[in-house]
A = this chain, B = another copy of it.
Amino acid sequence: MRTLSAAVEDYLKAIYEVQLENDSAPASTSALADKLGVARASVTGMLKKLAATEPTLVEYRPYYGVGLTAAGQKIALEVIRHHRLIEAYLTDALGFSWDEVHLEADQLEHVISEELESRIADYLGHPSVDPHGHPIPSKEGSFASAAEAPLTSLEVGEGGYVSRVSDRDSEALRYLAQLGLKLNAAVEVTEKAPFDGPIHVRIVKQDEVHALSRRLTDEIFVAPEKRETGRSGAKR
C-alpha cells in the first residue's frame, strides 16, 4: 500500500477537496481537471487506474463521478495534514509569510517522512489550524471545526474575527496582510454596495475601512469567537 506517487496523492487530495466543496457529492472529472491543472482525459485515465488497483482508494462510476473510500480519505487527510503542518512550520519556525508557504508545501507534502511530520507537530505544539485558518486533521483524521461564515454573507453592522482565508492566491494574501486583515483580526461590515458590489470592512485594530471585492470576501471567513489556534506560543 505504501509509497504512492505524488500524482496519486494529488488526485486523492483533489477528490477530497472537491467533495468537501459539494457536500460530499461525487467529484466530477472536470472539477478535478481544473483543480489539478491537467486535461480531462488524463483524469479519466488516472481514475480508472486508481479504481482498479488494490487496495481500493476510490469509488468511480464512469460519467457520474468519483468518491473516496475510507482508505482513500485516510490518505487524503494524511497529505492535507502534511501540507498544513508544513505551512505552519514554515511560518512559525522560519519566518515565512502566509503568502509564501502554499507552493512550498505542495512540494514538500509528498516527501516528508512520518518521523519528520511528527517532529514538526511536536515543535509546533500540535496546532489545530494552519496559517490561513484551515484546520489540520489529527493523525487519526479528526478536525477542529469552527462556526464560521464567509464575509460576503454578513449584513451591515455584523462582524467577528477572521477565522479562515483561502490560500490559493498569494497576491490576495499579500494584500490582506498589508491591510492588517490577518487571522483572528476583528472586523465589521460597515457597508454593502448593491448588485454584488464591494463590501466595506472595518478592521478594528487599525480602525480603517477598506472596500473589498466579492471575489475576496467570498474567501474570507469570519467567526463570532476568536479561534484557539493551538500554536500561538509555538516559538519553542
Contact = CB atoms under 8 A, between A and B. Distances in A.
A214 interface: no
Contact of A111 (B90, B107, B113): B107
Interface in A4-59: none
Chain copies in complex: 2
Nearest to A6: B111
A93 interface: yes
* Chain A residues touching B, range: 10 to 19
A111 B169 CA distance: 21
A156 to B, nearest CB: 41
Contact of A100 (B94, B108, B115): B115
Nearest to A94: B119
Contacts of A119: 94-96
A220 to B, nearest CB: 26
Interface string A113-127: 101100110010000
Interface string A98-117: 00100110011001110110
Interface string A64-101: 00000000000000000000000000100111100010
